[in-house]
């Protein structure tokens, strides 16, 4: 239970990697979140709308998923001891997520390249893959924050969070479509966003309640003075962002000048959730079981990756921004160069 | 079946499926750069048409490579948790550098390369294509460095059962790495050479000739004819390097059970693990010794010297022969095809049907050779995961066998379906170029690129 805060040289490095890992997972959840969400929203959309929806995420999805590889990569590289434990505990949902991501990733290309009669099938593969990936990620999140505890209540909790994360992705995806599309599709996105909103609120509330209930460490950390007051901005800002988002969906300006705002507010919600979670968990990689220092790789290995990160992460940021700028504005048809 | 066998089967299924696509993507990306450059420098529309058609194939292959690659990154942890615990300090940074330097590069510029035309200048587009090609190659560099280190480990020290890096240069440039990298990159180029030639031959057979078909066929055949001899030379050097560092692997490949001078090259045999000898052996006397030691009476160490620490013999013995046999077919087809093509005045329509049928059947011969060769080197490392130091059985996961079997069934079903879909769709695209040309005409009419 107790945290070994040693002061050997190089002890700051595991923390840096914890931060980097968290950051890449946050970026992943936002970026792949919107494109998985768009995949979910394809259910029930017209054929032309489906094409346009895929076109809005086509140039980006691949790089978006790379953030997951980086996040898991850092877990593997910086915390090899936790990597094996966590992934073994999550064996089945990981496998399901991978099957989902595979189905979806290949359906992207197959749906337009195979014979037209197969297109509905690949569209379905795209939606099912997106749903499978989104729900398994939610399931994993729930299992992780409850410390992999067993029992029906935990399973039920995981099931609810699985759906809630899918709803959050759908909301994010709807926000993306509001930015990237016009006309009927934009209206459809707004209707779907309204549907997803209550599920997101419920899910967030449940996560916030469950984490302190499950772990005394976490509850002690939140519910004591003066920390409680210092921490209040996190739930407050989350709540405000969600309310503003809901109010905005009723306004016509969300179809025009303010089309970017729902997406931005949703990113804000996810950022707050991330900060809250990080505060709850720190300095553990596995809640109450293994700290970042216990799980960390040798300082020499960490140092060489840190050098790599220092050079490449800014470069990655630059060309990610470049790629988004190239495809700025409303999405047109995807056409090969 | 026990969990470790299932875990190995699952990992093997995944890595086998995965490697098919990078093998195409690495060389195809450079090929696309070549097509694009030819189009820009000659303004011959056939090069642009070739670029467009093969870009579609690339996009499809890339998607399959990415998604199966994501699976890989998870299976290190789910299937071999002990490996990362023991060797994470070495494997981690190498994998990390692959993600940081290669994955993001290729993934980010892929969008610009595929769909960026008209949104960026030709120069930026060409640069994006180059960066994607460079990224795929860099990715091969890192992952093969790690794989080679597991075959010929150096530059480490072991403290409390965990590997620690001593010299990164020694780790990255370990003894088998240069040979394995060269062998793999050439394998990629040869695979693409035969995909290009095979798909073009298919278009000729089906009467779906496009303005680029004959040209791409020539590029494919030339690439194959030039690189096959280089590959044979590099393969031989790789073999000599293996003989030096992993003699048990060579003994299994050649089916040499007892140490012998002047060992024969077995053309066929049935390795028998029970009697520890070969049944039905047919061989050329002294040839194995000559190839491996470059002396007719050179000594090759037999498997009996590595009892309990050598790989299963049959898969290596046959895998090696399948790889070499496929390579010989490639040699015959590329040289014969190129010679005939020249004699017919480079008019593709005048090529004999049997040659075209043969080339079409050889379309994915590169896959066969690559996978067979890959099995030789990977199964040849067994029973170790890090050669001579850590056994595979020591690092397996604690996941229950039924769970692994269930997910294995899921993966294999999906993989088989996807391979069928992939080949079918390429065939379909090769036969259906009408829409492709419409886009091109439209573009030429408008005079500018359509975004």
pLDDT digits (tens, 9 = 90+) for B278-303: 888 888 888 888 888 888 888 888 88
Query: Would you tell me how many other CB atoms lie within 10 Å of the CB of residue B193?
Result: 27
Domain with B192 in it: 3-236+311-446
pLDDT band at B355 (very low <50, low <70, confident <90, very high): very high
Give the span between the Cα atoms of B300 and B286, in whole angstroms: 11
By Cβ distance, the residue of B73, B115, B399 closest to A91 is B399
By Cβ distance, the residue of B52, B62, B111 closest to A60 is B111
Give the span between the Cα atoms of A26 and B159, in whole angstroms: 35
pLDDT, position B80:
82
CB-CB under 8 Å, A106 with B421: yes
**Residue among A54, A80, A105, A129 with most chain B CBs within 10 A, to mutate:** A80
Q: Is B289 in contact with B265 (CB distance < 8 Å)?
A: no
Report the length, in residues, of chain B: 451
- Please state the rounded mean pLDDT for residues B182-192: 97
Q: How many domains does chain B have?
A: 1
Domain membership flag for residue B304:
no
Distances (CA, A) of A58 to A34, A108, A168, B263: 12, 8, 21, 57
pLDDT, position B96:
87
Q: Does B9 touch chain A (CB under 8 A)?
A: no
Domain membership flag for residue B264:
no
State which H helix or E strand residue B269 sits in.
strand B265-272
Q: In percent, how much of chain B has pLDDT > 70?
A: 96
Domain membership flag for residue B245:
no
Domain membership flag for residue B301:
no
Q: Which two tokens stand for residue B177?
A: 């790495």
Q: Which residues of B touch A115 (CB under 8 A)?
A: 428
- Please state the rounded mean pLDDT for residues B7-32: 93
Q: Which residues of B touch A312 (CB under 8 A)?
A: 100-101, 104
Q: Does A76 touch chain B (CB under 8 A)?
A: yes
Within chain A, how many helices (H) and strands (E) appear? 14, 2
Cα Rg for chain A, rounded, in angstroms? 20
Helix, strand and coil in chain B, % to nearest 5 = 75, 10, 20
Contact residues for B27 (Cβ-Cβ < 8 A; gap 6+): B185, B188, B189, B191, B192, B193
Q: Which residues of A touch B76 (CB under 8 A)?
A: 76, 83
pLDDT at B434 over 60: no
pLDDT band at B438 (very low <50, low <70, confident <90, very high): very low
In DSSP notation, B187-252 reads: HHHHHHHHHHHHHHHHHHHTT---TTHHHHHHHHHHHHHHHHHHHHHHHHHHHHHHHHH-HHHHHH
pLDDT at B267 over 90: no
Q: Which two tokens stand for residue B86?
A: 């023991």
**Residue among B99, B164, B172, B415 with most chain A CBs within 10 A, to mutate:** B99
Domain membership flag for residue B367:
yes
Q: Does A316 touch chain B (CB under 8 A)?
A: yes
Domain membership flag for residue B303:
no
- Between A163 and B438, whose confidence is greater? A163
Contact residues for B267 (Cβ-Cβ < 8 A; gap 6+): B282, B283, B284
Q: In percent, how much of chain B has pLDDT > 90?
A: 51
Ranges of H-type helices in chain A:
12-41, 47-57, 61-78, 80-89, 91-113, 119-145, 152-180, 183-214, 216-222, 227-231, 233-249, 261-281, 292-295, 299-326
Contact residues for B74 (Cβ-Cβ < 8 A; gap 6+): A72, A87, A94, A98
Contact residues for B354 (Cβ-Cβ < 8 A; gap 6+): none
The C-alpha of A18 sits at a distance from chain B's nearest C-alpha, in angstroms, of 15
Q: Does A73 touch chain B (CB under 8 A)?
A: yes
Q: Is B10 in contact with B172 (CB distance < 8 Å)?
A: no
pLDDT, position B272:
85
User: Mind listing the pLDDT tens digit for each residue in A221-255?
Assistant: 888 878 788 888 888 899 999 999 899 888 888 88
Give the span between the Cα atoms of B320 and A108, in whole angstroms: 37
CB-CB under 8 Å, B66 with A84: no
CB-CB under 8 Å, A76 with B115: no
pLDDT at B145 over 90: yes
Give the span between the Cα atoms of A125 and B120, in whole angstroms: 32
The C-alpha of A269 sits at a distance from chain B's nearest C-alpha, in angstroms, of 26
- Please state the rounded mean pLDDT for residues B7-15: 89
State which H helix or E strand residue B267 sits in.
strand B265-272
Prediction ipTM score: 0.83
Nearest CA in chain B to A337: B117
CB-CB under 8 Å, A332 with B101: no
Q: Indicate the Cα dihedral angle B254, B259, B264, B268, nearest 10°.
A: -40
Cα Rg for chain B, rounded, in angstroms? 23
> Quick one: which of A289, A283, A309, A296 has its CA closest to A10?
A296
Q: What are phi and psi of A303, to 5 degrees?
A: -60, -40
- Please state the rounded mean pLDDT for residues B381-408: 86
Domain membership flag for residue B241:
no
Q: Which two tokens stand for residue B36?
A: 């694009």
Give the span between the Cα atoms of A327 and A35, in whole angstroms: 15
In DSSP notation, B407-429 reads: HHHHHHHHHHHHHHHHHHHHHHH
What is the pLDDT tens value at each position of chain A, 337 positions in all? Answer: 344 444 555 688 888 888 888 999 999 999 999 999 999 999 888 888 888 898 898 888 888 888 888 888 888 888 887 887 888 888 889 989 999 999 998 898 888 888 888 888 999 999 999 999 999 999 999 888 888 888 888 888 889 889 999 999 999 999 999 998 888 888 898 999 999 999 999 988 888 888 788 777 778 888 887 878 888 888 889 999 999 989 988 888 888 888 888 999 999 999 998 888 888 888 888 877 888 888 888 887 888 888 888 888 888 888 888 888 888 877 877 777 6
Q: Hey, what domains does chain A have and what are their CATH numbers? A: 13-326 (1.20.1630)
> Quick one: which of A79, A144, A145 has its CA closest to A291?
A79
Domain membership flag for residue B82:
yes
The C-alpha of A333 sits at a distance from chain B's nearest C-alpha, in angstroms, of 8
Mean pLDDT of chain B: 88
Q: Is A53 in contact with A41 (CB distance < 8 Å)?
A: yes
10 Å CB burial of residue A284 (0-12, 13-18, 19+) is buried
**Angle at CA B405, nearest 5°, toward B400 and B410?**
130
Give the span between the Cα atoms of B136 and B30, in whole angstroms: 10
Give the span between the Cα atoms of A324 and B236, in whole angstroms: 47
pLDDT, position B441:
46
- Please state the rounded mean pLDDT for residues B374-382: 93
> Quick one: which of B334, B308, B135 has its CA closest to B218?
B334
A71: helix, strand or coil: helix
**Residue among B67, B90, B98, B406 with most chain A CBs within 10 A, to mutate:** B67
User: Which residue matches tokens 């016509």?
Assistant: A252
In DSSP notation, B137-204 reads: HHHHHHHHHHHHHHHS--SEEEETTEEEES-HHHHHT-TTHHHHHHHHHHHHHHHHHHHHHHHHHHHH
Q: Does A72 touch chain B (CB under 8 A)?
A: yes
CB-CB under 8 Å, B108 with A322: yes
């Amino acid at each position: 239970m107790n945290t070994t805060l040693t002061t050997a040289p190089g002890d700051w490095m595991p923390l840096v990697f914890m931060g980097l890992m968290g950051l890449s997972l946050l970026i992943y959840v936002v970026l792949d979140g919107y494109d998985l969400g768009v995949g979910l929203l394809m259910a029930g959309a017209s054929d032309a709308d489906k094409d346009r929806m895929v076109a809005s995420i086509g140039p980006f999805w691949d790089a978006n998923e790379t953030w997951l590889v980086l996040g898991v990569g850092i877990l593997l590289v910086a915390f090899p001891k936790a990597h094996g434990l966590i992934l073994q505990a999550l064996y089945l949902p990981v496998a399901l997520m991978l099957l989902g991501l595979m189905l979806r990733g290949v359906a992207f290309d197959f749906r337009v390249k195979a014979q037209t009669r197969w297109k509905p099938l690949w569209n379905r593969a795209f939606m099912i893959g997106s749903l499978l990936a989104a729900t398994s990620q939610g399931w994993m999140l729930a299992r992780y924050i409850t410390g992999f505890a067993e029992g029906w209540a935990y399973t039920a909790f995981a099931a609810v969070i699985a759906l809630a994360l899918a709803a959050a992705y759908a909301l994010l995806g709807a926000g993306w479509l509001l930015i990237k599309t016009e006309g009927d599709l934009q209206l459809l996105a707004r209707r779907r966003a309204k549907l997803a909103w209550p599920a997101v609120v419920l899910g967030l509330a449940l996560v916030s309640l469950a984490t302190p209930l499950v772990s005394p460490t976490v509850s002690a950390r939140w519910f004591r003075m003066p920390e409680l007051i210092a921490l209040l901005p996190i739930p407050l800002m989350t709540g405000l962002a969600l309310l503003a988002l809901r109010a905005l969906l009723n306004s016509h300006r969300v179809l025009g000048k303010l089309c970017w705002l729902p997406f931005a507010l949703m990113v804000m919600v996810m950022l707050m959730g991330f900060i809250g979670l990080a505060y709850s968990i720190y300095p553990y990689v596995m809640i109450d079981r293994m700290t970042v220092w216990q799980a960390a790789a040798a300082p020499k290995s960490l140092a060489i990756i840190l050098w790599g990160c220092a050079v490449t992460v800014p470069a990655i940021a630059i060309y990610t921004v470049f790629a988004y700028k190239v495809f700025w504005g409303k999405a047109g048809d995807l056409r090969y160069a | 079946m026990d969990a470790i066998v299932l875990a190995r089967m699952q990992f093997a299924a995944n890595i086998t499926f995965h490697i098919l696509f990078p093998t195409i993507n690495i060389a195809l990306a450079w090929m696309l750069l070549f097509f694009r450059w030819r189009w820009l420098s000659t303004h011959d529309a056939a090069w642009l048409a070739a670029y467009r058609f093969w870009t579609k194939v690339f996009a499809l292959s890339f998607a399959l490579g990415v998604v199966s690659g994501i699976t890989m990154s998870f299976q290190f942890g789910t299937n071999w948790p002990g490996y990362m615990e023991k060797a994470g300090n070495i494997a981690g940074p190498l994998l990390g550098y692959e993600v940081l330097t290669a994955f993001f590069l290729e993934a980010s510029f892929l969008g610009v390369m595929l769909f960026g035309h008209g949104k960026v200048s030709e120069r930026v587009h060409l640069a994006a294509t180059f960066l994607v090609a460079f990224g795929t190659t860099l990715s091969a560099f890192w992952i093969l460095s790690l794989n080679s280190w597991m075959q010929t480990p150096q530059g480490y020290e072991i403290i409390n059962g965990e590997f620690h890096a001593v010299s990164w240069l020694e780790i990255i440039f370990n003894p088998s790495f240069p040979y394995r990298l060269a062998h793999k990159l050439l394998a990629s180029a040869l695979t693409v050479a035969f995909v290009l030639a095979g798909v073009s031959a298919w278009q000729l057979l089906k009467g779906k000739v496009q303005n680029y078909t004959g040209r791409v066929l020539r590029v494919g055949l030339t690439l194959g004819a030039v690189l096959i001899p280089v590959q044979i030379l590099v393969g031989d050097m790789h073999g000599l390097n293996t003989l030096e560092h992993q003699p048990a692997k060579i003994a299994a490949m050649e089916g040499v059970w007892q140490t012998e001078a002047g060992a024969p090259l077995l053309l066929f045999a049935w390795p028998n693990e029970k009697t520890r000898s070969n049944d039905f052996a047919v061989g050329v006397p002294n040839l194995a010794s000559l190839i491996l030691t470059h002396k007719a009476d050179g000594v090759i160490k037999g498997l009996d010297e590595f009892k309990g620490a050598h790989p299963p013999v049959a898969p290596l013995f046959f895998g090696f022969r399948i790889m070499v046999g496929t390579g010989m077919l490639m040699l015959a087809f590329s040289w014969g095809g190129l010679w005939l093509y020249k004699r017919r005045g480079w008019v593709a329509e005048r090529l004999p049907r049997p040659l075209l049928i043969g080339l079409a059947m050889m379309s994915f011969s590169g896959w066969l050779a690559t996978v067979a060769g890959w099995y030789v080197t990977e199964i040849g490392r067994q029973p170790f995961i890090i050669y001579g130091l850590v056994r595979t059985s020591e690092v397996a996961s604690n996941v229950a066998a039924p769970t692994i079997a269930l997910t294995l069934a899921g993966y294999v079903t999906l993989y088989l379906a996807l391979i069928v879909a992939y080949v079918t769709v390429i065939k379909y695209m090769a036969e259906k170029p009408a829409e492709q040309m419409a886009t091109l005409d439209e573009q030429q009419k408008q005079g500018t690129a359509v975004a």
